């Protein structure tokens, strides 16, 4: 089999890139290790920057997002009993869109199926060959049957545990990583959100986040120990702990109910450089991970897709290699800014096991400065709504 762009990974990065290229008449084949149902069972942050919304529009996949998503003009930051608001709209002129990542992925699958574009599920043993030559190809198997896919380019959109990043030789690759000494215990519940905006809370008992999917589906998180297991936490224990970490007036109006999902996610910052090796391009989680504070994961994947899509368009439509040659540099410049923001926001809001009394005072002073200084709020808001591509 032959295609123009072989895409490894049917997560949001691979599907969005595939759909954008398809609309420009550039042929793609997506190879996904799991089933569609499995991919759609993953629950991840649901805050979309305008850049991603614009890409979904360009991909022809934004109808449901506009009908069912919620534009948020600001967010709330709590520190103990105090709470203040960062007004995105007033500070940047832009809102963010609250719409689940699972729904983004579902919309992209639907569009790909409608377009009749190729996608192979349950693929095994994907291997990349000749990425540094002019004739790259992939080998893999489906139900034990060996397959080969020749292509012009390979998009490595296979997430953090994929094979694409590993295909870049160690002498070329440089990796940067920070592991945080805590996790997030998250639950989804069929209850109305406690507030119409998100609340990020720094409390002496640890971080908490009140988020949502829609008016009757809430997503809440609390910072937990890395040794905790979801089954250690009854729903009741979770709600009690959450109430202790958010301002009393919010706790008083919190509606609780049974959890329909409960899981623990570790926090990690990770970047690999470069994001291109020959005809292989890394995109999204395959190249970088951010801690979830600020919801930059999917949005950073989207900016990669933007640069790669435009680079590939320039190649196929104008015969120019400029876009693909500068892909890694341009993508990484923005990735590092999102890494910085996610690291800063995580550092500001969590309790660290080794925090000294001085460190705690610094955190409190930084929050007090942010609460009262418009320039600091503007910097935060610009990062939260998304830096320009
Ligand atoms: N072969 C084929 N598919 C693979 C392989 C492989 N060897 N390894 C992984 N995959 C698939 C995974 O099953 C998954 O569906 O690649 C997909 C990668 O999807 P994600 O992990 O969701 O990564 P990405 O598409 O880059 O999405 C960006 O934003 O909020 C963040 O982490 C969050 O998913 C999120 C991401
Ligand atoms: C979520 O809704 O899951 C969410 C929202 C904002 C974040 C992280 C996660 O910063």
Decide if 85 is inside a domain: no
In a domain, 273, yes or no: yes
d(CA 374, CA 1): 57
CA distances (Å), 27 to each of 5, 11, 22, 320, in order?
6, 18, 6, 18
- Candidate of 43, 45, 221, 344 to mutate for ligand 2, largest count of ligand atoms within 8 Å of Cβ: 45
Residue 187: the pLDDT is 97
CA of 221 to the centre of ligand 2 (A): 8
316 and 230: one domain?
Answer: no
Residue 140 has pLDDT above 90, yes or no: yes
pTM of this prediction exceeds 0.85: yes
Question: How far is it, in rounded angstroms, from Cα 127 to Cα 147?
Answer: 11
Residue 180 is predicted with a pLDDT of: 98
If asked whether residues 51 and 121 sit together in one domain, one would say yes
- As a whole number of angstroms, the distance between CA 127 and CA 160 comes to 16
Residues 275 and 366 in one domain: no
| CATH, residue 283 | 3.50.50.60
CB of 300 sitting under 6 A from ligand 1: no
Question: Which residue segment(s) compose the domain that 240 sits in?
Answer: 180-267+351-385
For 342-377, the pLDDT digits (tens) are 999 999 999 999 999 999 999 999 999 999 999 999
Query: Are residues 259 and 148 part of one domain?
Result: no
256 shares a domain with 216: yes
Ligand found nearest the CA of 286 = 1
Looking at ligand 1, which atom is closest to the CA of residue 12?
Answer: 25
In tens, the pLDDT along 22-44 reads 999 999 999 999 999 999 988 88
Any domain includes 91: no
Please give the C-alpha separations between residue 158 and each of 164, 249, 288, 334, 346, in angstroms, as whole numbers: 7, 43, 11, 20, 26
Specify the ligand 2 atom closest to the Cα of 212.
2
Q: Do 258 and 184 sit in the same domain of this protein?
A: yes
Q: Which ligand is nearest to the CA of 345?
A: 2
Q: How many helices (H) and strands (E) does the chain have?
A: 13, 20
Q: Are residues 241 and 275 in the same domain?
A: no
- β-pairing, 137-142 vs 123-129, is antiparallel
Ligand 2 atom closest to the Cα of residue 345 is: 10
Nearest CA to ligand 2 atom 3: 45
Same domain, yes or no, for 137 and 286?
yes
In this predicted structure, the answer to whether residue 80 has a pLDDT above a threshold of 90 is no
Question: How confident is residue 159, by pLDDT bands cut at 50, 70 and 90?
Answer: very high
Q: For residue 90, is it within any domain?
A: no
Residues 309 and 248 placed together within one structural domain of the fold: no
Q: Note whether 146 and 263 are same-domain residues.
A: no
- Indicate whether 200 and 231 sit together in one domain: yes
- The CATH number for 201's domain is 3.30.9.10
**What is the number of domains present in the chain?**
2
- Judge if 334 and 242 occupy the same domain: no
Q: What would the pLDDT profile of 266-316 be if each residue is shown by its tens digit?
A: 999 999 999 999 999 999 999 999 999 999 999 999 999 999 999 999 999
Q: Which residues form ligand 2's pocket by a CB distance below 6 Å? A: 45-47, 198, 209, 211, 219, 292-295
């Amino acid at each position: 089999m032959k295609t123009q762009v072989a895409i490894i990974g049917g997560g949001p990065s691979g599907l969005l890139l595939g759909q954008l290229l398809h609309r420009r008449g550039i042929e793609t084949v997506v190879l996904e290790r799991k089933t569609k149902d499995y991919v759609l069972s993953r629950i991840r942050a649901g805050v979309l920057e305008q850049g991603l919304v614009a890409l979904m529009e360009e991909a022809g996949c934004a109808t449901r997002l506009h009908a069912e998503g919620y534009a948020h003009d600001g967010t709330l930051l709590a520190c103990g009993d105090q709470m203040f608001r960062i007004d995105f709209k007033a500070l940047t002129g832009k809102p963010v869109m609250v719409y689940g990542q699972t729904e983004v992925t579902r919309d992209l699958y639907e569009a790909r199926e409608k377009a009749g574009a190729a996608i192979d599920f349950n693929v095994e043993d994907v291997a990349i060959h000749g990425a540094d030559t002019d004739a790259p190809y992939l080998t893999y198997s489906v139900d034990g049957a060996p397959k080969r896919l020749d292509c012009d380019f390979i998009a490595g959109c296979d997430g953090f545990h994929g094979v694409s990043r590993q295909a870049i030789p160690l002498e070329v690759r440089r990796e940067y990583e920070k592991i945080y000494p805590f996790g997030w215990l998250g639950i989804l519940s069929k209850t109305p959100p406690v507030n119409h905006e998100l609340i990020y809370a720094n409390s002496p008992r640890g971080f908490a986040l009140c988020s949502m999917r829609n008016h009757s589906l809430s997503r809440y998180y609390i910072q937990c120990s890395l040794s905790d297991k979801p089954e250690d936490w009854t729903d009741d224990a979770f709600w009690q702990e959450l109430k202790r970490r958010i301002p009393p007036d919010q706790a008083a109006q919190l509606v609780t109910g049974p959890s329909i999902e409960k899981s623990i996610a570790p926090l990690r910052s990770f970047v690999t450089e470069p994001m291109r090796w020959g005809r292989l391009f890394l995109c999204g989680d395959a190249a970088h991970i951010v801690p979830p504070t600020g919801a930059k994961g999917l949005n950073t994947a989207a900016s990669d897709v933007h640069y790669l899509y435009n680079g590939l368009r320039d190649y196929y439509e104008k015969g120019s290699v400029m876009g693909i040659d500068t892909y890694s540099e341009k993508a990484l410049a923005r990735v590092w800014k999102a890494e910085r923001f996610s690291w800063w926001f995580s550092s500001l809001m969590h309790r660290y096991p080794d925090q000294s009394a001085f460190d705690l005072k610094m955190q409190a002073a930084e929050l007090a400065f942010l609460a009262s200084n418009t320039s600091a709020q503007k910097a935060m808001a610009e990062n939260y709504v998304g830096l320009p591509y």
